[in-house]
């Protein structure tokens, strides 16, 4: 949600950055000596940790809460308001930031910290940014491995849904209380690309960043699948209930009539980072529930882990349902069948994949899909 804010609210004026690599720092060589990285954007933090550079990160922004190790790092504010004293105290040698505002980068530059401004509005930009990070931190190998993994993840999803008809999908944030408008992903956004990968077509017809739409517009668009993504406080059970109740009114929308309004509370769906694979998988679960997740993707090189992943996805989903129902225990009990539909739990993989799954799990942070 805050990432969305960072993207949407900021200036869309042409940045000083040239399209492509998007570096704002002068093209000098990366600094020598031990690396002390300051990361000011959540997805950059995730990228750094996924590349194995987590121990080199000394500071983060307030919104960088994933992975859990990052949350333990000191926070220095966000791109709109940086606590410069803390920054100085951390003595970073390099700072990564994604912002369209030049003054943040200039400030850090002025303090002698090499600041690299990156972009990740599109998949290509994300992959390019990973490259840049690899170069700047002298770990091009890790960068390449991560980029390759991401590409592979996305390709896996593409294969999963290949050949299937593309329904019209609307990806929305929950509507403001009392307002008739809500934000949806327009064409050309990162989420839009994920929707394409996951086998859907954006119901919103125009190229736009994150436009607001009113109910009549949604009715006119007639999406076949609606994905609502409340995160943080918006994911409280009573709010989810309010969202469901609100959407239940518009029965002329195909998604409502077919029961394909799905509430996903995963925050990584809108974060262009190492978890895009998970995001695409999750979206594919929802858009094409008929296409089960592959039980044994060969690239992973670990059939057991793959089966365990599939179980994890099902387990996670059902946990969400249980949580949801527990929170609503004061209301009349209903079967979870309908709720499964709303949460679009993937079909359980074939029997025999991994019986050791039940019980505690140790997630590899790279594959974890609950913060």
Partner 1 sequence: MTPRPLTAGRYVLAILLWLAAWIVVSAGAVLLGAENVWAWDSWDKVRDVLGLRLYAVLAASVVGAALALTGLALQALLRNPLADPFVLGVSGGASLGVILASIWLTALAAPLFGFLGALATIAVVYAVAQRRGRLEPYTLLLSGVIVNAFYAAAIMLTTALAGPERRGDIAYWMMGSITTFDPQWKVVGIVGGLAVAAAAFFAFLAKGFNLVAVGEDTAGALGVPVERLRVATFVTASLVTGASVALVGPIGFVGLISPHLLRMALGPDHRRLVPASFFFGAILLVVADLATRLMEGISGQTPPVGVLTAMAGGPFFIYLLRKRWRRSAGMC
Give residues in contact with partner 1 (CB under 8 A).
1-2, 5, 175-182, 212, 214-217, 219-220, 222, 232-234, 238-239, 241-242, 245-246, 249-253
**Which CB, 2 or 86, lies closer to partner 1?**
2
**Which CB, 20 or 180, lies closer to partner 1?**
180
Return d(Cα 348, Cα 12) in angstroms, integer: 44
- What is the closest distance, in whole angstroms, from the C-beta atom of residue 79 to partner 1 in the complex? 13
Query: Which residues, in sequence order, are CB contacts of 152 under 8 Å at separation 6+?
Result: 277, 299
**Which CB, 167 or 230, lies closer to partner 1?**
230
Return d(Cα 162, Cα 353) in angstroms, integer: 24
Dihedral of the alpha carbons of 147, 151, 152, 156, in degrees to the nearest 10 = 150
Return d(Cα 219, Cα 208) in angstroms, integer: 19
**Which CB, 104 or 129, lies closer to partner 1?**
104
- Spatial contact of 132 and 125, defined as CB atoms under 8 Å apart: no
- What is the closest distance, in whole angstroms, from the C-beta atom of residue 261 to partner 1 in the complex? 13
- What is the closest distance, in whole angstroms, from the C-beta atom of residue 233 to partner 1 in the complex? 6
**Which CB, 250 or 357, lies closer to partner 1?**
250
- What is the closest distance, in whole angstroms, from the C-beta atom of residue 337 to partner 1 in the complex? 23
Before 228, cis peptide (omega within 30)?
Answer: no
- What is the closest distance, in whole angstroms, from the C-beta atom of residue 232 to partner 1 in the complex? 7
Query: Which residues, in sequence order, are CB contacts of 216 under 8 Å at separation 6+?
Result: none
Closest CA relative to residue 272, chosen from 46, 69, 15, 94: 46
Buried b (16+ CB within 10 A) or exposed e, 145-173: bbbebbeebbebbeebbeeeebbbbbbbb
**Which CB, 87 or 243, lies closer to partner 1?**
243
- What is the closest distance, in whole angstroms, from the C-beta atom of residue 93 to partner 1 in the complex? 31
Query: Which residues, in sequence order, are CB contacts of 285 under 8 Å at separation 6+?
Result: 293, 313, 344, 345, 346
- Spatial contact of 285 and 225, defined as CB atoms under 8 Å apart: no
**Which CB, 130 or 240, lies closer to partner 1?**
240
Contacts of residues 9-15 at CB distance under 8 Å and 24 or more positions apart, as own/partner, are: 10/79, 10/99, 10/100, 10/101, 11/100, 11/101, 12/100, 12/209, 13/100, 15/100, 15/102, 15/117
**Which CB, 144 or 244, lies closer to partner 1?**
244
**What is the DSSP-derived secondary structure letter of residue 235?**
G
- What is the closest distance, in whole angstroms, from the C-beta atom of residue 211 to partner 1 in the complex? 8
- What is the closest distance, in whole angstroms, from the C-beta atom of residue 161 to partner 1 in the complex? 28
- What is the closest distance, in whole angstroms, from the C-beta atom of residue 230 to partner 1 in the complex? 10
Return d(Cα 35, Cα 13) in angstroms, integer: 33
**Which CB, 81 or 106, lies closer to partner 1?**
81
Q: How far is CA 102 from CA 107, 163, 247, 296, in A?
A: 9, 44, 40, 46
**Which CB, 5 or 88, lies closer to partner 1?**
5
- 3-state secondary structure at position 268: helix
- What is the closest distance, in whole angstroms, from the C-beta atom of residue 331 to partner 1 in the complex? 11
């Amino acid at each position: 949600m805050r990432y969305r804010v960072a993207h949407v609210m900021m200036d869309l004026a042409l940045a000083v950055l040239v399209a492509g690599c998007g570096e704002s720092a002068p093209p000098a060589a990366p600094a020598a000596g031990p690396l002390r990285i300051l990361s000011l954007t959540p997805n950059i933090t995730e990228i750094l940790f996924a590349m194995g550079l987590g121990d080199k990160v000394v500071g983060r922004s307030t919104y960088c809460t994933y992975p859990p190790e990052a949350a333990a790092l000191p926070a220095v504010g966000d791109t709109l308001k940086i606590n410069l004293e803390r920054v100085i105290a951390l003595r970073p040698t390099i700072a990564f930031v994604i912002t369209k505002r030049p003054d943040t980068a200039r400030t850090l530059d002025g303090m002698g910290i090499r600041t690299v401004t990156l972009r990740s509005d599109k998949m290509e930009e994300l992959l390019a940014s990973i490259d840049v990070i690899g170069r700047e931190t002298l770990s091009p190998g890790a960068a390449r491995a991560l980029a390759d993994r991401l590409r592979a993840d996305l390709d896996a999803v593409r294969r999963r849904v290949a050949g299937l008809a593309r329904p019209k999908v609307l990806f929305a944030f929950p509507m403001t209380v009392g307002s008739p408008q809500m934000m949806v992903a327009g064409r050309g956004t990162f989420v839009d690309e994920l929707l394409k990968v996951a086998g859907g077509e954006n119901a919103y017809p125009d190229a736009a960043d994150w436009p607001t739409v009113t109910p009549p517009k949604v009715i006119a668009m007639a999406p076949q699948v609606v994905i609502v993504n409340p995160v943080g406080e918006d994911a409280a059970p009573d709010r989810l209930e309010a969202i469901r109740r609100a959407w239940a009114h518009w029965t002329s929308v195909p998604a409502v009539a077919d029961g394909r309004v799905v509430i996903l509370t995963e925050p990584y769906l809108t974060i262009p980072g190492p978890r895009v694979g998970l995001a695409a998988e999750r979206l594919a679960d929802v858009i094409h529930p008929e296409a089960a997740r592959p039980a044994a993707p060969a690239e992973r090189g670990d059939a057991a882990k793959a089966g365990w992943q599939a179980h994890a996805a099902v387990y996670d989903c059902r946990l969400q349902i249980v949580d949801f129902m527990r929170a609503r225990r004061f209301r009349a009990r209903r079967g979870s069948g309908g709720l499964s539909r709303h949460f679009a739990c993937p079909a359980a993989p074939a029997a025999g994949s991994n019986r050791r799954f039940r019980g505690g799990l140790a997630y590899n942070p790279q594959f974890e899909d609950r913060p």
